[in-house]
Structure 1
Amino acid sequence: MSKLPDGVDRRSIAGEERLTTEGEPVYGEPTVDGRRVWDAGRSKLGAMLELGMDTHLAGGESILYLGAASGTTVSHVADFSGPTYAVEFAPRPVRDLVDVAESRPNLFPLLADARKPSEYAGVVESGLDSIVQDVATRGQADVANRNAQFLAADGILLAAIKARSENVVADPDEVFEDVRETLSESYEILETERLEPYHDDHLGVVARKR
């Protein structure tokens, strides 16, 4: 099992060890010892950590989060990271993100399209430590490649690839192989793993910017 980032640890709830972070609750998650339970069934990054993938997160990193939605996962990320830029395309979830950010001064919600990084290039700093990506759109690898510009030379991509967003009828393993090939244009892939039993037909990817 890989080491968890500083600020993430496990607490026992009903006899089960669960990931937790310290921060204001966001989505009705249980709390224990003043910490929020990080539900891997609702978070692809949480699933990657539960499965023991080496995310290369130590805590305190600068993060670009693509596909932040209402803030379920990015709120946990902001609990243990440095500056965290949360990109979301839909206005309604961004309103929720603004509420989440009230208790997290390092979280910066951005109403923008992750497929068009020029929309936020003037706001997001360059030389970031990590990109966390969870976008349910066709061309997920292309999105990651376009946003590689924000990473430091040895920056890390942590992506959750949803097979059904690429092709509803194709075999997920074939979809994932295509995604790996496309990602290799900008990244060296370090590790991949299917995210079952937490998320069906999803691939967790850890990659380093070339």
Structure 2
Amino acid sequence: MTLPEGVERQEFDGDTGLATRGEPVYGEPVRDGWRRWDPSRSKLGSMLDLGMDTGLSGGETVLYLGAAAGTTVSHVADFAGPTYAVEFAPRPMRDLVLAAEDRENLFPLLKDARDPDSYSHIVEPVDILLQDVATRGQAAVAVANRRFLADDGLLLMAIKARSEDVTGDPEAVFENVLDELRESYEILETTRLEPYHDDHLGVIARPA
């Protein structure tokens, strides 16, 4: 699996891990301008570290759903092109705005990913739809935001079993979400994100 241009494995205090070049955001280690990308704090980071074929090469236009305080999306903006970051909670949005101050290609949007009409006038067609939302109806969010994804683009998604159904068997929850996704997407690859994230499934899909 080839890492995107702008993402490298660097050594930090004797430990080798993913890194991007940019201003630090969440107290991560920094060496010679490279900031450590902690896969235990990032679903996309764990997907890359586990060798999933994300299709990322660098420079893509990205729509990121569930940006929170900017931990992952700041790394994405370090190597991607225009990066639209949707977050609905005001408190993490303040941190996200601070992360964007050092990244002119990162555009924070205080919006609800379940309501893409509210930002359809802002977001251009994108190459990559990245989704990391903690809510029921995760497949519905991905389907609703399919409108922004180019026909040859990719969905990179982390399904959170406990957000979908806190008592359900994770494997059954994953399969239910994947069945819903198949209404609009062709599933290319799935991988459990352990040991970094319990009861999470990384998904790579393309528009059907």
Question: Where on the TM-score scale, by shorter chain, does this alignment land: which range?
Answer: over 0.9
Quote the Cα distance in structure 1 between the aligned partners of 2:54 and 2:77.
Answer: 15
Supply the AA of the counterpart residue of 1:32.
R
Length-normalised TM-score, structure 1? 0.98
1:167 paired residue among 161, 165, 168: 165
Unpaired runs of 5+ in structure 1? Answer: none
Q: Name the SS for the 2:107 alignment partner.
A: strand
Q: Does 1:8 align with 2:7?
A: yes
Deviations 1:80-111 (A, max 9, x none): 00000000000111111111111100000000
Q: Name the SS for the 2:190 alignment partner.
A: strand
Length-normalised TM-score, structure 2? 0.99
Quote the Cα distance in structure 2 between the aligned partners of 1:52 and 1:17.
Answer: 15
1:140 paired residue among 135, 138, 160: 138
Deviations 1:103-158 (A, max 9, x none): 100000000000000010000012x1001100000000110000000010111000
Q: Give the superposition deviation at 1:34.
A: 1.4
Q: Name the SS for the 1:113 alignment partner.
A: coil
Match of 1:149 in 2: 147
Match of 1:184 in 2: 182
Match of 1:26 in 2: 25
State how 1:38-49 maps to structure 2 within 5 Å.
38-49=37-48
Q: Give the superposition deviation at 1:13.
A: 2.1
Q: Give the superposition deviation at 1:18.
A: 0.5
Supply the AA of the counterpart residue of 1:139.
G
Q: Name the SS for the 2:108 alignment partner.
A: strand
Match of 1:98 in 2: 97
Q: Name the SS for the 2:47 alignment partner.
A: helix
1:197 paired residue among 191, 195, 198: 195
Q: Give the superposition deviation at 1:14.
A: 3.1
Identity %: 68
Q: Would the aligned equivalents of 2:136 and 2:163 in 1 still touch at CA under 8 Å? A: yes
Quote the Cα distance in structure 2 between the aligned partners of 1:117 and 1:69.
Answer: 17
Q: Give the superposition deviation at 1:16.
A: 2.2
Unpaired runs of 5+ in structure 2? Answer: none
Quote the Cα distance in structure 1 between the aligned partners of 2:32 and 2:8.
Answer: 12
Quote the Cα distance in structure 1 between the aligned partners of 2:137 and 2:145.
Answer: 13
Q: CA RMSD in A?
A: 0.7
Deviations 1:140-186 (A, max 9, x none): 01100000000101110000010000101110000000111111111
Supply the AA of the counterpart residue of 1:97.
L
Match of 2:112 in 1: 113
Moved more, 141-150 or 11-20: 11-20
Q: Give the superposition deviation at 1:39.
A: 0.3
How many residues in Structure 1 have an aligned counterpart in Structure 2?
208
